[in-house]
Homo-oligomer: A and B are copies of this chain.
Amino acid sequence: MRDSQTFVQHLSEALPYLQKFYGKILVIKYGGAAMHQASARDAFIRDLVLLRTVGIKPVVVHGGGPMITEMLTKVGKTTEFIHGLRVTDRETVNITEMVLAGVINKGIVASINRAGGRAVGISGKDGNLIEAVKHMPRMNGDDPDRPPEGIDIGYVGEVHKVNPEVLLSLDEAGFIPVVAPLGAGGEGETYNINADTVAGAIAAALSAEKLILMTDTPGLLRNPKDHTTLISWITTCEVDSLRSRGILSGGMIPKVQACQTALAHGCKSCHIVDGRTPHAVLLEIFTDAGVGTLITSHDTLEDLISQS
């Protein structure tokens, strides 16, 4: 009975958060440990169903790194690198699409459905959700006296345009959309796109309430080797400053860029959270302290302060 009292007390404490986020869209990049570790995964899937049930609307964008590599190995595909970047030829992008849109996407959908939710999995090609263009990275070693040239590393794409109608239809019909980070180019060719980037672009297109990026670190760290240097709250300006000082490590750069894109298009707040923590998403939404790092635009920060 005592436990029951604590239980209903906790439900009651959730009220202000339920009121605040009712009907709002959360775009969640799902990946890393939360995808591979059984207990974190189960908790995450149940969290999605819970959110939809109480009227909050999650849109899931997933990654799939290790499984792609595994499959490439299986088919005996060796990967070429140019200046340290993996070249994605047509066969590689086909394998990537198979793994992302074929197995991982449908696996997440089946898990949500088994937990009593109703999910539909699509890729960025469905309903023209993601119009993509080729990503042409520039090399650091480019001759500064020559015009910079992008390098063709194949079917790695950037988001050119988001057409969110298919997400809105699924949302209206009560489904949780699950999105594989692929897009179609102008000739119908397939591009693999960074999942954080896709999540950011979708959050921007939907003016989502929150963008939540799940990682395998506690969040942004001032010193990547020291977890006690976690940054709880940071503005986009300060992020720029960290980047220019070289403090942000490679993998964090597309994440903070995704946050900056989302914030610039009306998304209220962005979160980099540790997917290894069970129920990390609920902790982020239903507690004031939150978890991981909160990124806001300069304006929003001031708004938040003036409200408190």
Contacts and interface: CB of A to CB of B under 8 A. Distances in A.
Interface in A26-52: 43, 46-47, 49-50
Contact of A14 (B5, B11, B128): B11
Contacts of A100: 102
A168 B279 CA distance: 33
B54 A286 contact: no
Interface of A: 4-16, 18-19, 22, 43, 46-47, 49-50, 53-55, 71, 74-76, 94, 97-103, 105-106, 109-111, 113-114, 116, 118-123, 125-128, 165-166, 169-170, 172-173, 175, 182, 184, 187-188, 190, 278-279, 282-283, 286-287, 289
Contacts of A53: 15, 18-19, 22, 54-55
Contacts of A289: 4
A-B pairs, 4 with minimum CB distance: A102-B102, A98-B102, A98-B98, A169-B173
Contacts of A18: 50, 53-54
13 contacts: A4-B283, A5-B279, A5-B283, A8-B286, A10-B11, A11-B11, A12-B50, A71-B98, A98-B98, A98-B103, A101-B105, A109-B125, A122-B126
